[in-house]
Amino acid sequence: MRRPELLIPAGNLEKLRTAILYGADAVYVGVAGLSLRARQSEFTLADLEMGIKEAHQKGVKVYAALNIFARNSDLPNVETVVNHLAEMAIDGIIASDPGVIQLIRKTNPNMVVHLSTQANTTNVEAVKFWANHGVSRIVLARELNLDEVAAIAKMVPEMEFELFIHGAMCMSYSGRCYLSSYLNHRSANQGDCSQPCRWEYQLIEATRPDVPLILEEDDRYSYFLSSKDLCMVEYLPQIVNAGISSLKVEGRMKTVYYVAVVTRTYRQALDSYLQDPEHYSVKAEWIDELNKVSNRGYTTGFYFASEKINEINPTTRYYQSYDMVGTVLEYNPAAKKILVGARNRISLNDEIELLLPDETIKLNVTEMHDEAGVPLRAAHNQYRIILPFDREVPVGAVIRRAATATSSD
Ligand code: SF4
């Protein structure tokens, strides 16, 4: 059995570092400039260069997603960015447009090319077609069930296959949807969906615009278009046995906290499976952890024929039972103190949790100072505060606190 790779989304340099700290084998990134827009959730080329160097020092691979369907006018920019990526020693480019793939092959024939799920590969002939065009890995269409995935993987053993194991599900067929483009001017077909299908919609009759028709699926909400999120932690053996070599988590737009918790949980689960594949069983604590990041309730999506595919979840808003309140910026072993960058309010007597890569430490905030040694009763976002702590803690470790109310991620 090939050791499967745990592939984590890294929307920016901090998330890349978080993914590495909590156990990713590989990360995938978006690149500002190629998508013709620079968003917070994308890397600048300078940040990416630094990120690739740091990742390679830790033995972690970095792939760049260039999965736009390019217009002619985009092609010069595509070529420039591909050349930059090659110079930075990126480990592979994830693309979906045949034109982009052809351009990569022409300009950088040694570049590793992965085919995005947006290319909708659903059968063995399509896999062979892409193998003949220099693609070495395919993210199969997520509409396939696991039996279909296994059958395809068996027929083309030389091809690597990657599958999504966790994250938001799209309600349209492999991302072919204009909702985001129409409502937010951000095109899903250019890899930039803002996920407006998660919003709450109403049905309005044309002559009575002020009186929306109430369609209640329960006494709280109705979300006509919103899917539950994918979660396959229980079914890692079935995924790996289907011939999958890369287990992919969705969510380049998600938070550092999400990256930390999801990476750590799947790292533990995958290691447990690899140590003893015959006796793998999901642990309650893994499910518990995955319930502590934003989610809309979990589903196994399309993977089992008996499952109701893409089932919507009318009863759950984005739900997150914990909030990230800071990250560790420094540890001072002589003073036994940690310097924390606050991301949220932290008050004296708060019960907080420090997430180490393989352990969660509960702490009560009994004292807190600023960097000048002035005692604080409360700290806010962007404060730099010092907390006593007597063990070495890695830089970038995440600190969280139970949420007091339902919140969004
Ligand atoms: S808006 Fe929703 S359904 Fe449309 S592409 Fe984005 S995630 Fe998919």
Tens-digit pLDDT profile for the chain (409 aa)?
678 999 999 999 999 999 999 999 999 998 755 544 445 557 888 899 999 999 999 999 999 998 888 899 989 999 999 999 999 999 999 999 999 999 999 999 999 999 999 899 999 999 999 999 999 999 999 889 999 999 999 999 999 999 999 998 887 776 678 888 888 888 777 667 788 887 877 788 889 888 877 666 555 555 667 788 999 999 999 999 999 999 999 988 889 999 999 999 999 999 999 999 999 999 999 999 999 998 888 989 889 976 554 555 555 556 678 999 999 999 999 999 999 999 999 999 999 999 999 999 999 999 999 999 999 999 999 999 999 999 999 999 999 999 874 433 3
Q: Tell me, yes or no, whether 342 and 291 share the same domain.
A: no
Cα 219 to Cα 211: distance, rounded to the nearest angstrom: 18
Q: What is the DSSP letter of 77?
A: H
Q: Ligand 1 centre and the CA of 127: distance in Å?
A: 25
Q: How far, in Å, from the CA of 126 to the mean position of ligand 1? A: 24
User: Ligand 1 atom closest to Cα of 196?
Assistant: 1
Answer yes or no: are the C-beta atoms of 112 and 64 closer than 8 Å.
no
Query: How many Å apart are CA 316 and CA 47, to the nearest integer?
Result: 36
Sheet holding 322-332, edge to edge: 359-364, 351-356, 398-402, 322-332, 337-342, 384-388, 369-370
- Ligand 1 centroid to 395 CA: how many Å? 35
Q: What does the DSSP assignment read for 22-33?
A: TT-SEEEEEBTT
Q: Report the nearest-CA residue for atom 4 of ligand 1.
A: 177
**CATH number, position 36:** 3.20.20.70
Rounded to the nearest angstrom, the distance between the alpha carbon of 20 and the centre of ligand 1 is: 28
d(CA 157, CA 72): 35
Q: How far is the CA of 24 from the centre of ligand 1 (A)?
A: 26
Q: Are residues 163 and 46 in the same domain?
A: yes
395 and 279 housed in the same domain: no
Q: Are residues 294 and 326 in the same domain?
A: no
Structural domain contains residue 211:
no
Residue 306 has a pLDDT of: 62
Q: Kindly give the distance from the C-alpha atom of residue 8 to the centroid of ligand 1, in angstroms, as a whole number.
A: 20
Domain count within the chain: 2
Tell me, yes or no, whether 307 lies in a domain. Answer: no
Reading the block at residue 77, the tokens are: 């920019």
> What's the pLDDT score for residue 234?
97
Q: Which of 179, 230, 313 to mutate to test the pocket of ligand 1 (most atoms within 8 A of CB)?
A: 179
Claim to verify: residue 155 and residue 16 sit in the same structural domain: yes
**Residue that finishes a domain, picked among 299, 331, 348:** 299
User: According to the model, what pLDDT value does residue 36 have?
Assistant: 40
- Tokens 């998330």 -> residue: 15
Return d(Cα 230, Cα 409) in angstroms, integer.
Answer: 16
Q: CATH number, domain at 352?
A: 2.40.30.10
Pocket test for ligand 1, best of 169, 178, 195 (most atoms within 8 A of CB): 195
Nearest atom in ligand 1 to 197's CA: 2
- Side-chain half-sphere exposure of 256, counting CA atoms within 13 A: 21
Measured by CA distance, the residue closest to atom 3 of ligand 1 is 171
Distance CA 400, CA 409 (A): 13
Among 120, 164, 172, 224, the mutation site with the greatest number of ligand 1 atoms within 8 A of its Cβ is 172
> Residue of the nearest CA to atom 6 in ligand 1?
195
* Terminal Cα distance for the chain, rounded: 37
Which residue's CA is the nearest one to ligand 1's atom 1? 195
Nearest-angstrom CA–CA distance, 304 and 309: 9
**C-alpha angle with apex 167: 346 to 270, nearest 5 degrees?**
90
| Ligand 1 centroid to residue 68 C-alpha, Å | 15
- Domain that residue 354 falls in: 322-402
Residue 180 alpha carbon, nearest atom of ligand 1: 1
DSSP-derived pairing of the beta strands 26-30 and 61-65: parallel
- Say if CB 352 and CB 401 are below 8 A apart: yes
Report the predicted TM-score, pTM, of the whole model to 2 decimal places: 0.91
279-284 long-range contacts (CB < 8 A, ≥24 apart) are 280/236, 280/237, 282/233, 282/234
Ligand 1 atom at minimal distance to the Cα of residue 176: 5
Q: How far apart are CA 256 and CA 385, in angstroms?
A: 19
**314 is a domain residue:** no
Q: Ligand 1 site: residues with CB under 6 angstroms?
A: 170-172, 175, 177, 179-180, 188, 193, 195-197
Same domain assignment for residues 169 and 95: yes
262 and 339 inside one domain:
no
User: Does 196 map to a domain?
Assistant: no
β-partners of residue 299 are 230
Separation CA 153–CA 143 (nearest Å): 15
DSSP state of 312: B
Distance (Å) from CA 225 to ligand 1 centroid: 9
Q: Which atom of ligand 1 is nearest to the CA of 170?
A: 8
360 and 275 within one domain: no
Q: Are residues 50 and 183 in the same domain?
A: yes
Which ligand 1 atom is at minimum distance from the Cα of 169? 7
Q: Whose CA is nearest to atom 5 of ligand 1?
A: 175
Q: CA–CA separation, 23 vs 338, rounded Å? A: 22
Q: What pLDDT score does 33 carry?
A: 56
Tell me how crowded residue 231 is: count the other CB atoms within 10 A of its CB.
23
Tokens 């589903």 locate to 299
Q: What's the 202 CA to ligand 1 centre distance in angstroms?
A: 18
Q: Does residue 49 lie within any of the structural domains? A: yes
Rounded distance from Cα 140 to ligand 1 centre (Å): 18
Compute, in angstroms, the gap from residue 364 CA to the centroid of ligand 1.
41
Helix axes 75-87, 45-57, angle to 10 degrees: 30
Check: CB of residue 139 under 8 Å from CB of residue 114: yes
Asked, for residue 388, whether it belongs to a domain, the answer is yes
User: How many angstroms is it from 321 CA to the middle of ligand 1?
Assistant: 25
Whether 83 and 166 map to the same domain: the answer is yes
Looking at the fold, whether 145 and 233 belong to one and the same domain comes out as yes
Angle value at C-alpha 33, between 30 and 37, nearest 5 degrees: 85
Give the model's pLDDT for residue 1.
65
